[in-house]
A and B are shown apart, each in its own frame.
Chain A
Amino acid sequence: MTESPDGGALDGNALDGNALAGPLAAVYAFDVTRALARCAHCGDVSVVACAVVFVTAMGTVARCRECGEVLLVVVGTPTGTSVAARGVAWVRA
């Protein structure tokens, strides 16, 4: 399955965290894009919708708007969607 919301897969252009709403809705019951998240690397706190997002055939990668480190990765597979959020220190709804 190839899921690539918006055009990032082809041109490599960055999107923003608004584009995470669909992929994350497959895992979380609330709209994570409105939540505040703290980057585990640099400590920047911002709304998830402001993250820098890259969409590829492999999955969706959200990076910190300040330091560029990976916040979270969303991967769709035939058996479901998984989210790895190791770069997020905390999320506040």
Chain B
Amino acid sequence: MTEQWHVAQVVGTTPVTASARAVTLAVPGFAGAVAGQHVDVRLTAPDGYQAARSYSLAAVGADERVELAVDRVPDGEVSPYLVDELRVGDRMEVRGPLGGWFVWRPEDVGPVQLVAGGSGIVPLAAMVRARRDAGPEVAARAPFRLLYSVRTPQDAFFADELEAAVDLTWAYTRRTPPGWPRPARRLDAADLAASTFAPSDDLTVLVCGPTAFVETVAGLLLEAGHDPARVKTERFGGAS
């Protein structure tokens, strides 16, 4: 399954923010995805031109279903189509599930610190959902915290669901809700000290976001004493 392109059909779309939406695909034969994995999506124009992009899975567990959440990149080649044009019944090609490094499995033991920037929340949301769906025993042996950096409250993906499922700290970078104690600013060392697990031998840290965000956060984590081998990162270069 993994190495081959398979025909996928759109079976649902749901708005996530003003610039993003969730897309559910039916993909016969797609199974066994792990939270954090991605798929490659390939579109073919009527003239035969093809464009492919990687998108993280927003949820796992429903076999033969692929759940994506795509943010529109204004000058992008693929994402505006997926966010604005795609309709139920449309077809595309999918390859995956892919990637076995930036993942979390319910059998993994130990605390997990998630740090998301913008739409980098998507693979981390899949992990939060997988832990929630695995039940209280798994949740007890794998404490999760999520630090989620977004521009404004309106830019947050899955806010209510995440707040219900995980110990979540918001970090707004452009505009906060009224009366919010933390001024809008980029994530810094003080945020990490106040709102993330301290370094420990069994802690796993997973960071996902735009390249500059990931590099800043990873640098701050190492300065704070985290073991580089326990900090996993995934960056998107402003996926178009």
* Residues of chain A having any CB pair with chain B under 8 Å: 1-19, 21-22, 25-26, 31, 33-34, 47-50
Contact = CB atoms under 8 A, between A and B. Distances in A.
B102 A18 contact: yes
A31 to B, nearest CB: 4
B101 A47 contact: yes
A14 B211 CA distance: 7
A49 B238 CA distance: 18
A6 B237 contact: yes
25 contacts: A2-B50, A4-B53, A5-B40, A5-B52, A6-B236, A6-B237, A7-B53, A7-B73, A10-B77, A13-B211, A14-B237, A16-B233, A16-B234, A16-B235, A18-B54, A18-B99, A18-B101, A18-B102, A18-B234, A21-B38, A21-B99, A22-B52, A25-B98, A33-B100, A48-B101
A14 to B, nearest CB: 6
A87 to B, nearest CB: 20
B117 interface: no
Contacts of A5: 40, 52-54
B51 A2 contact: yes
Interface string B93-126: 0011011111000000000000000000000000
Given A1-B50, A5-B40, A6-B53, A11 B237 contact: yes
Interface residues of B, number: 33
Interface string B65-77: 0000000010111
Contacts of B52: 2-5, 22
8 nearest A-B pairs in the assembled complex, by CB-CB distance: A13-B237, A7-B240, A21-B98, A49-B101, A22-B40, A21-B99, A25-B3, A7-B239
